[in-house]
Amino acid sequence: MTPAEHAQLALLLEVAGTPKPGNVDRDRDFPNLRFEHFLTGAVGSGGGLRAAEADTTVGEAFERSVSGMSRQSGGNTQFGALCLLVPLVKASTSGGCSPESVTNVVESTTVEDAEGFYRAFDHVNVFVGDPPEGADEFDVRRGSDAIPAIRDAELTLFDVMEMGADEDGIAREWTNEFERTFEAGKRIVELDGSLSGRGARVYLELLAHEPDTLVAKKHGRKVAESVRVRAQEALQEARHGDSELVHAFSESLVEDGINPGTTADIVAGGLFVALERGQRP
């Protein structure tokens, strides 16, 4: 399979993993966001992922991926995951699936790549936090309307990610050699069982280790830390063969409208790394 095909498969395996507290999985739909929306988004993203593999620029390939992903009725399904997968595909195609290779890809992005990134926000509604103080003109929620300011400031896509890295876990991956993504991939390789099941286990492990930044932006840092502690407790029970607390944790997050989406995005990236390193479903 090609890197683009591995990226699509990673998206499918990620959403198929269960239980995945607070997120859609093969056993849990939300009222307006369902498992089938994620399947459709993964298929729709393929054109952009293949473009990344064919040496299209990161920004253009990302916009194409998001445009294709958005062609379902659920809204945003995999924006953050694609933000990781597009440069990973490009890195795997050119220099191999490694932290060094993907860092070279993202640090080489241009102003035009930033423009493509901002245009992607025109295709789908993405929840983001407020921009850093004094950077309102670069607010990604403005979508393509912010492009003149990006051009005037000569900001590359890597520059844009640097601005958001303190508050956003995906941007932090870009500026930190995709550290958690590659750690997730290594852990998935180490575990036994189905790849989707391994992905669900690593999701819980990541959530127990570090607060989810999407939860922090939506509900505040105290809530995100509380979710982390509860994930740690559920993980400890799961290690002893008791999944009851994991399922109770899942139900409570859904009831409270809390979805640790950034953690799920990083798992998708980790599944891609595992696939590129020879793991097979």
Instruction: Write out pLDDT tens, residues 202-219.
Output: 999 999 999 999 999 999
Q: What is the per-residue pLDDT for 245?
A: 85
Amino acid 200: pLDDT: 95
**In the chain, % of residues over pLDDT 90:** 89
Domains of the chain: 3-276 (1.10.4200.10)
Using DSSP's 3-state secondary structure scheme, residue 186 falls into: helix
Q: How far apart are alpha carbons 21 and 204 in whole angstroms?
A: 8
With contact defined as beta carbons under 8 Å apart, do 269 and 85 qualify?
A: yes
- Give per-residue pLDDT as tens, 116-153: 999 999 999 999 888 888 889 999 999 999 999 999 99
Phi, psi of 25 (to 5 degrees): -145, -175
Instruction: Give the separation between CA 33 and CA 13, rounded to whole angstroms.
Output: 17
Q: What is the pLDDT of residue 55?
A: 85
Residues in contact with 83: Cβ distance below 8 Å, sequence separation at least 6, in sequence order: 62, 170, 174, 265
Tell me the helices (H) and strands (E) count for the chain, helix number first. 16, 0
Instruction: Look at residue 135 in the predicted model and tell me its pLDDT.
Output: 86
Of all residues in the chain, the percent with pLDDT exceeding 70 is 99
Residue 243 reports pLDDT greater than 80: no
Assess whether the previous peptide bond of 19 is cis (omega < 30° from 0).
yes
The single-letter code of the amino acid at 20 is K
For residue 241, pLDDT beyond 80: no
Q: Per residue in 193-203, pLDDT tens?
A: 999 999 999 99
